Amino acid sequence: MQQDVLQKVVDIVRAQPHSGLSLGLYALVSTLKMEQSGYMYMLRKLRDLNPEQRQLAYGLMELMAEHGNQGEAWEAAVTAMDDAVRGG
């Protein structure tokens, strides 16, 4: 599941790095790497997503709950999204 969710999110961000969906998912990923701040994400932003898109967000949250928001795959995905958003 980890690779699937991460890859889907990376693909979305790479395809349209400045779309509302991409920036919202990117913001969620960015907060899920900040344990010290309690993973502060504005849940009301989930209202802006359709049901399929919310499933991706929930998958990212589940990944965090399983400690999947660390390690090589996570870091590679975050780097790819950083590059897309900053360079796109």
Query: For 13-56, what is each residue's pLDDT tens digit?
Result: 999 999 999 999 998 888 887 766 556 667 788 888 999 999 99
pLDDT at position 8: 95
Mean pLDDT over the full length of the chain: 87
pLDDT at 10 over 60: yes
pLDDT at position 31: 83
pLDDT at position 51: 95
pLDDT at position 3: 65
Could you state, in order of their start, the residue ranges of all structural domains in the chain? Answer: 10-82
User: Is the pTM higher than 0.85?
Assistant: no
Cα separation, 56 vs 51, whole angstroms: 9
DSSP string, 17-75: TTSHHHHHHHHHHHHTT-GGGT----GGGGGGS-HHHHHHHHHHHHHHHTT-SSSHHHH
